[in-house]
């Protein structure tokens, strides 16, 4: 229930109830201020809130997660005991060392081929000299053509062997470099997986919710905490579908926290979400508080009244005197008078046409 001060602050017309205190008194339309309010309930929400989730599974072997504590971006919050990630990192590191060795100048495979290349080059050069000699001898008719052609063929074959070994060397070196790249990638991936053992904050904020303690088992993707910015606080409320059409961005709002009964905070509607929330069967509105917020906690329940219309010096009557079809019973008239209404508050209705301040109202017959 709202206290007297709250009601007075919200409904400017409440104090005139003394004019309409009971049915045996004369009830006439009054000229007073009226404000139409849409009631909504909700809670305090800290903007930019995000879930801190586990990226691997295991047991929390350490944790510094405490609600209400401010943390910096990248701060270590907890460590998950997952040995498989560490083993994978160690194996990947060993494989990279082998891959680095295979592309180095001291690689056994490359050294062996280099020796073969040198030997093949020497043989080619020897065969080339031999072929030149036989060509000279043949030109001098000192040897046969067959012997010369055999020398030329040996030169050609040794050259092919030399080139083949050089190509083989390049292929082995390329394969070793490819394996080195793969091993580097595997090590980087394993190091990333090892980092998953560490739970860190993504950005600076306050821990507003804690779900896991040291010694708890966590699964991959499980939320261990919620972090949000304490500097950006808003109220999120649910508005009935019958009233949402009246609510617009910029409308003034009166907010009362359940933790601070009797204290009214002013705010404005900052956002009206267009989609219907099936869970709450209502529309969601966000409210920016313009008054300084007392100490509050994430999720604090609240009551809000959204001012969707107000008018000064309006002609008003008690809502209980307005019947179906906007008909009002007036003393001295046999038929009910149809009136044109304006703003409707919790207890009163503005009358735009159909009555005067001299008319005496009669109760609606049930």
Mean pLDDT of 116-141: 92
Q: Is the dihedral of CA 170, 175, 176, 177 positive or negative?
A: positive
State residue 86's pLDDT score.
Answer: 64
Q: What percent of the chain has pLDDT over 90?
A: 47
Tell which residue, 315, 319, 312, 329, has the closest CA to residue 364.
Answer: 329
DSSP classification of residue 27: B
Higher pLDDT among residues 161 and 13, named by residue: 161
- Find the helix or strand (DSSP H, E) in which 181 lies: helix 145-195
Higher pLDDT among residues 256 and 4, named by residue: 256
Higher pLDDT among residues 351 and 179, named by residue: 351
Mean pLDDT of 314-338: 92
State residue 91's pLDDT score.
Answer: 73
State residue 251's pLDDT score.
Answer: 94
Select, from the ranges 203-212, 243-252, 295-304, the one with the highest average predicted confidence (pLDDT).
243-252
Q: Which two tokens stand for residue 326?
A: 């906007």
Question: How far apart, in whole angstroms, are the C-alpha atoms of residue 305 and residue 269?
Answer: 11
- 50-80+197-228: CATH topology: OB fold (Dihydrolipoamide Acetyltransferase, E2P) (2.40.50)
Using DSSP's 3-state secondary structure scheme, residue 24 falls into coil
State residue 102's pLDDT score.
Answer: 73
> Residue 5 in contact with residue 262, Cβ under 8 Å?
yes
What residues contact residue 209 under an 8 Å CB cut-off, 6+ apart? Answer: 67, 225, 226, 298
Residue 192 has pLDDT above 80, yes or no: no
309 has which bridge partners? 36
Mean pLDDT score across all residues of the chain: 84
Tell which residue, 349, 356, 317, has the closest CA to residue 333.
Answer: 356
Residue 309 has pLDDT above 70, yes or no: yes
Reading across the β-sheet that carries 76-81, which strands appear in turn? 198-200, 76-81, 58-63, 217-218
Mean pLDDT of 108-133: 90
Mean pLDDT of 291-298: 73
Question: How far apart, in whole angstroms, are the C-alpha atoms of residue 9 and residue 289?
Answer: 16
DSSP classification of residue 336: P
State residue 1's pLDDT score.
Answer: 38
Higher pLDDT among residues 161 and 184, named by residue: 161
- Find the helix or strand (DSSP H, E) in which 184 lies: helix 145-195
> Residue 266 in contact with residue 252, Cβ under 8 Å?
yes
From residue 184, give the alpha-carbon distance in Å to each of 55, 56, 102, 158, 313. Answer: 22, 22, 14, 39, 79
State residue 304's pLDDT score.
Answer: 93
Model pLDDT for residues 3-53, shown as the tens digit of each residue:
434 443 343 333 344 444 444 578 999 999 998 889 999 998 877 788 999
Model pLDDT for residues 45-92, shown as the tens digit of each residue:
877 788 999 988 888 888 999 988 889 999 999 988 866 666 666 777
Q: Which homologous superfamily is 4-47+232-362 in?
A: Efflux pump adaptor protein, beta barrel domain (2.40.30.170)
pTM: 0.53
How large is the angle between the packed helices 145-195 and 83-103, nearest 10 degrees?
Answer: 160
Model pLDDT for residues 130-151, shown as the tens digit of each residue:
999 999 998 998 889 999 999 9
Q: Which two tokens stand for residue 353?
A: 């046409």
From residue 159, give the alpha-carbon distance in Å to each of 53, 83, 84, 118. Answer: 64, 55, 53, 12
């Amino acid at each position: 229930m709202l206290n007297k001060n709250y009601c007075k602050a919200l409904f400017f017309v409440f104090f005139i109830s003394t004019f309409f205190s009971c049915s045996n008194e004369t009830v006439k339309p009054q000229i007073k201020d009226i404000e139409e309010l849409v009631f909504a309930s909700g809670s305090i929400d800290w903007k930019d809130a995000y879930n801190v989730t586990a990226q691997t599974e295991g047991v929390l072997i350490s944790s510094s997660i405490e609600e209400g504590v401010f943390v910096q971006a990248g701060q270590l919050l907890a460590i998950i005991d997952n040995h498989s990630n560490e083993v994978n990192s160690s194996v990947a590191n060993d494989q990279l060392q082998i891959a680095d060795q295979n592309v180095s100048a001291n690689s056994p495979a490359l050294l062996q081929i280099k020796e073969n290349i040198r030997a093949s080059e020497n043989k080619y050069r020897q065969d080339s000299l031999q072929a030149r000699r036989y060509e000279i001898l043949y030109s001098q008719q000192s040897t046969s053509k067959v012997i010369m052609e055999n020398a030329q063929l040996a030169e050609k074959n040794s050259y092919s062997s030399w080139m083949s070994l050089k190509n083989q060397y390049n292929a082995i070196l390329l394969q070793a470099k490819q394996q080195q790249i793969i091993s580097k990638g595997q090590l980087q991936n394993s190091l990333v997986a090892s980092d998953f053992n560490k739970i860190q904050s993504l950005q600076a904020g306050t821990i507003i919710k804690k779900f896991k303690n040291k010694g708890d088992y966590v699964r991959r993707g499980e939320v261990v905490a919620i972090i949000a910015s304490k500097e950006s606080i808003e109220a999120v409320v649910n508005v009935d579908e019958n009233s949402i059409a009246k609510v617009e961005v910029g409308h003034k709002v009166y907010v009362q926290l359940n933790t601070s009964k009797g204290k009214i905070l002013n705010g404005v509607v900052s956002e009206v979400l267009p989609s219907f929330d099936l869970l709450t069967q209502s529309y969601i509105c966000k409210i920016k508080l313009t008054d300084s917020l007392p100490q509050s906690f994430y999720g604090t329940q609240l009551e809000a009244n959204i001012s969707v219309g107000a008018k000064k010096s309006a002609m008003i009557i008690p809502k209980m005197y307005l019947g179906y079809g906007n008909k009002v019973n007036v003393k001295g008239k046999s038929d009910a008078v149809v009136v044109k209404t304006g703003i409707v508050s919790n207890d009163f209705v503005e009358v735009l046409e159909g009555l005067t301040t001299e008319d005496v109202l009669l109760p609606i017959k049930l």
